[in-house]
C-alpha cells in the first residue's frame, strides 16, 4: 500500500537500492592484488597467515582495526537522504 505521492513498492525499492549501494561499496573496499609484506602505515611485518587469508592486504591487524573504527564513525548517517531514513 503506497502512501502520499509514492507508488506501491517504492519504499522497498529505495531500501533495496540502499542495500545494493552498501554491498557495492564494501566490495570496492576489498583489497586486490598482491599482499604487502610490511604495513603501509606502521611498517611492521604482516604475518604470512594474514597475507594468505586476505589477498591484497596492505595493513597490519592493528592499523586495519584503527582504519575500520575511523570509517565506522564517519559513516553513521544516511548520505542518500532517502525516504527510508525518514521512516525510522
What is the tally of structural domains in the chain?
A: 1
Q: Is 18 exposed, middle or buried (0-12, 13-18, 19+ CB in 10 A)?
A: middle
Residue 78: predicted pLDDT: 56
| Better-scored residue on pLDDT, 65 or 77 | 65
Q: What is the per-residue pLDDT across 48-76, written as a single tens digit (0 to 9) for each?
A: 999 999 889 999 999 999 998 888 776 55
Is 82 part of a structural domain of the chain? no
Is 36 part of a structural domain of the chain? yes
Is 4 part of a structural domain of the chain? no
Confidence check: pLDDT of 80 > 80:
no
Residue 15: predicted pLDDT: 92
Provide the pLDDT confidence category of residue 6 given band limits of 50, 70 and 90: low
Q: What is the per-residue pLDDT across 28-49, written as a single tens digit (0 to 9) for each?
A: 888 788 999 999 999 999 999 9
Range of the domain at 30: 24-73
Q: Which of 62, 59, 34 has the alpha carbon at shortest distance from 46? A: 59
Which residue reads 597490519 in cell numbers?
Answer: 60
Amino acid at each position: 500500500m503506497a502512501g502520499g505521492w509514492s507508488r506501491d513498492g517504492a519504499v522497498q525499492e529505495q531500501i533495496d537500492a540502499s542495500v545494493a549501494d552498501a554491498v557495492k561499496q564494501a566490495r570496492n573496499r576489498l583489497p586486490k592484488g598482491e599482499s604487502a609484506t610490511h604495513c603501509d602505515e606502521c611498517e611492521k611485518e604482516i604475518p604470512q597467515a594474514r597475507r594468505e587469508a586476505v589477498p591484497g592486504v596492505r595493513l597490519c591487524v592493528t592499523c586495519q582495526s584503527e582504519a575500520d573504527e575511523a570509517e565506522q564513525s564517519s559513516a553513521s548517517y544516511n548520505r542518500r537522504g532517502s525516504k527510508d531514513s525518514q521512516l525510522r
